[in-house]
Structure 1
Amino acid sequence: MATPDFITALRADAGQQLLWLPGITAIVFDDEGRVLLGRRSDNGKWSVIGGIPDPGEQPAECAVREVFEETAVRCVVERVVLVQALKPVTYPNGDTCQFMDITLRCRAVGGEARVNDDESLEVAWFDVDALPRLHEFSAYRIKQALSDEPTWFEPAVVE
């Protein structure tokens, strides 16, 4: 996965210390109710589409851009599915970060699903009852995007 230039610049000053970063996940459905997935080039596993917004970029703009960059599919954002602070992650090079994920439900409006950059090995549409093996992160977001529930978030602990 390509590291955005602004994060590379931050790392020059911050070193490997924890960075708090925004993350956008796009759950894209087509008119047949299938979900769009990519098989990641970094680990070979199927996953939902996502990325990091550029400075000043709105979450919906990021979702539309990332989906097109990775899959050549054009989409529109329909609603916010969930907002969640994820657990910190340490990458093999020692860099640490923690993402605030905003997951958006999207609808495909054009394009043919295909590998469109070096972040995916494969791109495909899947029936929601015939998904490949997915990490819980992806499976949960698809489940939430299919529900009619309001936006999910971790409730605050009141003392």
Structure 2
Amino acid sequence: MPIPDFIRDLRAQVGHRELWLSGVSVVVRDADGRLLLTRRVDNGQWAVVSGVLEPGEEPARAALREVAEETAVTAEIIRLTSVDVTPLITYPNGDQTRYLDVRFLARYVDGEPHAADDENSDVAWFAPDDLPDDLTDTSRLRISKALSGNPEAWFRR
């Protein structure tokens, strides 16, 4: 998906300087316990589904929208798993961003997973004990917190 208009408008004012944005991440599991991952075009690594909230958008709805847009999968939210701040990200074009990331665990409902947008080159299911070596560090944390079994959401104290 192209850069949202509201971010383009902000970038016109601040250039490549760091933007503070709201994001969501989703660990999607199927009935066999496998995890849905995407291979990102920008860094070539595997990652959980993630994206930016549109202005005024509810985080859980944004999470499900991102799953559908990126993977062509329909999912349902099970619970909030964690909230934290990402490290500073510098994109290939020089834009810098840090995200307040709201993370969810979701259940696969239907759809044939495939790279449904231009942000990802591949989509696949992985067993939790057989994750790809080139999985992003942030995704490892997201998966760990989602699968921890804790009923309450994790956050740094």
What TM-score results when the alignment is normalised by the length of structure 1?
0.92
Q: Which moved more, 1:120-129 or 1:87-96?
A: 87-96
Q: Which amino acid aligns with 1:69?
A: E
| Aligned pairs for 1:58-97 within 5 A | 58-97=58-97
Q: Cα offset for 1:13?
A: 1.6
The alignment status of 1:54 with 2:63, answered yes or no, reads no
* Aligned CA-pair RMSD: 1.3
User: How much has 1:104 moved relative to structure 2?
Assistant: 0.6
The answer to whether the 8 A contact 2:42-2:92 is kept is: no
Matching residue's letter, 2:49: I
Cα shift readout 1:10-66 (whole Å, capped 9, x = no counterpart): 111222232110010010001110000011112221111110011111111111111
Q: Report the count of equivalent residues.
A: 155
Identity %: 47
Matched with 1:36 is: 36
Q: 1:152: which partner in 2?
A: 154
Provide the C-alpha distance between the structure 2 equivalents of 1:30 and 1:23, rounded to a whole number of angstroms: 23
Structure 2 residue runs without a partner (length 5+): none
- Aligned equivalents of 1:112, 1:91: Cα separation in 2: 29
Name structure 1 gaps, 5 residues minimum. Answer: none
Q: Deviations over 1:66-98 (max 9, x none)?
A: 101110110011111110012222333332221
SS in 1 for 2:6: helix
- Superposed CA deviations along residues 117-136 of structure 1, whole A, max 9, x for unmatched, are 11111111111111111122
Higher CA-based Rg? 1
Secondary structure in 2 matching 1:6: helix
Pairing of 1:80-159 with structure 2 (within 5 A) = 80-133=80-133, 134-149=135-150, 150-155=152-157
In structure 1, distance between residues paired with 2:89 and 2:110: 34
Q: Secondary structure at the match of 1:64?
A: helix
Amino acid at match of 1:147: S
Distance in 2 of aligned mates of 1:84 and 1:25: 11
